[in-house]
Amino acid sequence: MIDKVHENKLQILGKLAATLTHEIKNPLSVLKLNLDYLKLGKDNYDAETNECIESSIEAADLINQLVYNTLEFSKKNEDSFSYCDLNSIVKKSLKIMKGHVKTKAISLQLELSDDLTHITGNEINLVQVFINIISNSIEASNKGSKIIIRTYSNLNNVCAEVIDEGKGINKNEIEKIFDEFYTKKNKGTGLGLSICKTILNKHNAKFSITNNKVKGTKVKIEFSNNI
C-alpha cells in the first residue's frame, strides 16, 4: 500500500515537473535578461549593489539548470558526476544565499578545512542541497543568531555540518522530515529535504539531522570516497 502511494506521488511529481519546466522557462529568461541588462551599468553602482546583481545572476543560472532536474526523486536517468571541491560548493551556496543571510542579520562562522580531498558528484545538485539546508537553518534562526558551517575529513570520508541556534525539531517529527510533502511551514512544499536526501543517496552520502543539546539543529553530510 505504501509503495503504491509513493508511486502515485512520483507520477504526480513527474507531471508537475513537466509543467514547471514549461511555465518557469519564459519568466526566468526575462529575469535573466533584465539582470544582464543591469550588469551593463555596473560602473554606475556601488560594490554592494554589483555583488547583489552578480549573486542574482548566479541564482538565475542555477534555477535554469535545476528546472530541467526538477523534483530529483522522480528522475530515472543517471546524473553526470565529476570531481568536486566541497568547500567551493559551500561558498557558491553562500554567495547565492547572501541576501537572505543579511536580511536576518545572521552571523556566519565558517570552519572550512584546507585538507579536504575532492569528492565525486554533481556540483549543481550539491549546491542545490546546501542552499536548501542553509535556507532551512536561516528560516529556523532568530534574527542576529549564529550559524556554523564546517567541513572536515573523517578517516577516508569528507564531511560537512551546518549547525544553527534555531528552535530545533520536535522529536516526533524527526522521522517525517524527509517525507515528500511533509512540512510545518505555512508556505512550504515539503519537498526540500526529500530532494536533498534523494540527491545525497545518489552520491552515496550519509545525511542526518539531529537536535543540539542546548538549542538548534545540526545537519551532517558524510561523503564516501568509495563511490
Question: HSE on the CB side for 185, CA within 13 Å?
Answer: 13
Which pLDDT score is estimated for 146? 93
**What CATH number is given for 82-223 in this structure?**
3.30.565.10
Q: Which residue has the cell 532536474?
A: 69
Which residue type does 175 have?
E
227 residues of the chain, pLDDT tens digit each: 545 665 566 566 666 666 666 667 667 777 777 888 888 888 888 888 888 888 888 777 777 666 655 544 445 555 678 899 999 999 999 988 887 788 888 999 999 999 899 999 999 889 989 998 998 899 888 888 999 999 999 888 999 999 998 887 777 666 666 555 545 554 444 567 878 888 898 899 999 888 887 788 899 999 987 54
Provide Rg for the chain, Cα atoms: 18
Give residue limits of the domains in the chain.
2-74, 82-223
Distance CA(32)–CA(196), nearest Å, equals 26
Question: Count of CB atoms within 10 A of residue 186's CB?
Answer: 5
Angle between helices 2-40 and 47-66 (to 10 degrees): 140
Strand (E) positions, the chain? 82-84, 107-112, 119-121, 146-154, 157-163, 205-211, 217-223
Give the SS3 label for residue 197: helix
Which pLDDT score is estimated for 91? 94
pTM, entire model: 0.70
| Backbone angle region of 190, left / alpha / beta, with phi > 0 → left and psi within -120 to 50 → alpha | left
